[in-house]
Chains A and B, each alone.
Chain A
């Protein structure tokens, strides 16, 4: 598609604006943390695939940042969702 990069940019801006509005309104609850982490994952993956242009390279080179991103976001989720013992 000719306008792929423009579409990716628009998606990134929309998801960033969504996160900002949620944060600005101080309307963060438990399920929104998960949604924000998911949108962060999507944005980062779009940058890796389309901006860093890894979508057309061999799988092993795509897997390194994908694994990095998945592990990082998952562990952040664990830190936020794991019950805190008092």
Chain B
């Protein structure tokens, strides 16, 4: 019977520089989350009433989409990590298929968010309407830019897999892009209940 032994990796997956960026992004968003939570204490009723104007359903669908896209990216990384010199073309194509699903999810997220923004702005709401909407527009708008950038990164990786650009000893760039995408998912996982649900 074979025993599987888990060997601890020295560094997180991907280029180490991306982890510096990820940690900085996490801290920046944490400050915004806490800014929202503590500002809410100044006028709980206003925050609760304003929150009711948001579509919790679109927030939920977007959470589902991002979780699923992250799952597709994990599958793509697993494919790329499984390749050998003999089958690297086949596994590049396999990874590209998973990435395409993830990119489609990213685009779906952006479309839903644009629809939500156009509804909110159509109601005459803007950054100066009140503190709740200031935080809502800042947090979700800032996150939107990250999803947009993440989708572009995934698309670049996708294009490289289509020309069999990743090799068994050279796929760090792939993992770097994947780590960034998971960060985008991680931030939304906190943002969704905080802005849309908890009151």
Chain A positions within 8 Å of B, measured between CB atoms, are: 5-6, 8-9, 12-13, 16-17, 19-20, 22-24, 28, 33, 36-37, 39-40, 43-44, 47-48, 50-54, 56-58, 61, 64-65, 68, 71-73, 75-76, 79-80, 82, 84
Contacts and interface: CB of A to CB of B under 8 A. Distances in A.
A9 B8 CA distance: 24
Given A16-B67, A61-B12, A71-B30, A47 B75 contact: no
A84 B196 CA distance: 22
Given A44-B190, A52-B179, A72 B11 contact: no
B26 A40 contact: no
Interface of B: 6-13, 19, 23, 26-27, 30, 33-34, 37-38, 40-41, 44, 56-57, 59-60, 63-64, 67-68, 70-71, 73-75, 77-78, 179, 182-183, 185-186, 189-190, 192-194, 196-199
B37 A19 contact: no
Given A36-B197, A71-B30, A76 B64 contact: no
Contacts of A57: 8-13
Contacts of A22: 197
Contacts of B78: 5
Contact of B12 (A28, A40, A54, A80): A54
B22 to A, nearest CB: 8
Given A51-B182, A80-B198, 15 more contacts: A12-B189, A16-B67, A19-B60, A19-B197, A22-B197, A28-B197, A37-B198, A39-B193, A44-B190, A52-B183, A53-B13, A56-B8, A68-B30, A75-B37, A76-B194
A23 B197 CA distance: 5
A53 to B, nearest CB: 5
Given A56-B9, A72-B33, A84 B64 contact: no
B34 A75 contact: yes
Contacts of A5: 71, 74-75, 78
Contacts of A54: 12
A20 B27 contact: no
Contact of B8 (A47, A48, A58, A71): A58
Contacts of B37: 75-76, 79-80
Given A44-B189, A75-B34, A79-B40, A68 B26 contact: yes
A83 to B, nearest CB: 10
Contacts of B197: 19-20, 22-23, 28, 36
